[in-house]
Amino acid sequence: MAQFDPLIIFSLIWSIVLILIAYYKLSIEVLIPLFSGVKKFSEKKLILLNYFHKVNSAFLSKTNSMGVS
């Protein structure tokens, strides 16, 4: 079988090692910080929406207690 030929096994091993090193380097330096940045943005957005919901609820309760519909 060509996959286990001693002449090409070392080139196959080195190519897979280089590909994996490049993939992990890309993942660690680019993809993981990108995902954590998206997560931080989502958390900030949820906090902001929660704040607006509280302000809106307070405003509605204040207008309802004044008799304005």
Name the residue range of residue 41's domain: 10-62
Closest C-alpha among 19, 17, 23 to residue 9: 17
Query: In what helix (H) or strand (E) does residue 55 lie, and over which residues does it extend?
Result: helix 32-65
Number of domains making up the chain: 1
Give how far Cα 42 sits from Cα of 27, 38, 39, 51, 56, Å.
21, 6, 5, 14, 21
Query: In this predicted structure, what is the pLDDT of residue 55?
Result: 73
Using 50, 70 and 90 to split pLDDT, how confident is the model at 68?
Answer: low
Say if 3 falls within a structural domain.
Answer: no
Say if 4 falls within a structural domain.
Answer: no
Query: In this predicted structure, what is the pLDDT of residue 10?
Result: 84
Say if 56 falls within a structural domain.
Answer: yes
Question: For 5-49, how does the pLDDT look when each residue is reduced to its tens digit (9 = 90+)?
Answer: 777 888 888 999 999 999 999 888 888 777 777 777 777 777 777
Say if 2 falls within a structural domain.
Answer: no
Query: In this predicted structure, what is the pLDDT of residue 47?
Result: 78
What's the CA gap between 64 and 16, in Å, rounded? 68
Say if 47 falls within a structural domain.
Answer: yes
Say if 1 falls within a structural domain.
Answer: no
Query: In this predicted structure, what is the pLDDT of residue 1?
Result: 53
